[in-house]
């Protein structure tokens, strides 16, 4: 799962346009729990997967990995970015204090 390592290790900087990375990182820094880069990033990554889920469900495994390694993020609109951020906040509010 090379894509997941890259997403976590590089904080999505290789997958997203710079203006989107800046918007995400602004939310990480402004996170009230002060855990933006350590935990909120995980929820944003999950929200990104959710955003692309309808397309991901149609792909075979090799194609799915190729897609995740080269997300079509150039087409993301401002509304898409805000939707992903909002979904990340929802995931954080639901799952942040759950025990595994």
Give the tokens for residue 21: 């990375």
Give the tokens for residue 81: 């970015």
Write down the pTM of the prediction: 0.85
Q: Tell me what pLDDT residue 1 has.
A: 65
Give the tokens for residue 72: 């079509």
Residues in CB range of 5: below 8 A, 6 or more apart: none
- Residue ranges of alpha helices (H) inside the chain are 2-10, 18-30, 41-56, 61-69, 78-95
CATH code, residues 2-7+17-95: 1.10.472.80
HSE-up (13 A, CA, CB side) for residue 1: 5
Best CA proximity match to 92, nearest among 6, 30, 18: 30
| Model confidence pLDDT, tens digit, residues 37-64 | 778 889 999 999 999 999 999 999 999 9
Domain edges within the chain? 2-7+17-95
| Model confidence pLDDT, tens digit, residues 59-78 | 999 999 999 988 898 888 99
């Amino acid at each position: 799962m090379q894509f997941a390592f890259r997403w976590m290790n590089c904080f999505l900087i290789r997958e997203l346009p710079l203006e989107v990375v800046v918007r995400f990182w602004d939310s990480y820094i402004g996170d009230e729990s002060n855990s933006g880069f350590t935990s909120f990033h995980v929820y944003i990554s999950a929200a990104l997967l959710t955003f692309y889920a309808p397309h991901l469900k149609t792909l075979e495994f090799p194609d799915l990995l190729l897609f995740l390694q080269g997300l079509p993020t150039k087409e993301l609109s401002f509304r898409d970015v805000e939707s992903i951020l909002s979904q990340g906040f929802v995931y954080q509010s639901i799952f942040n204090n759950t025990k595994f």
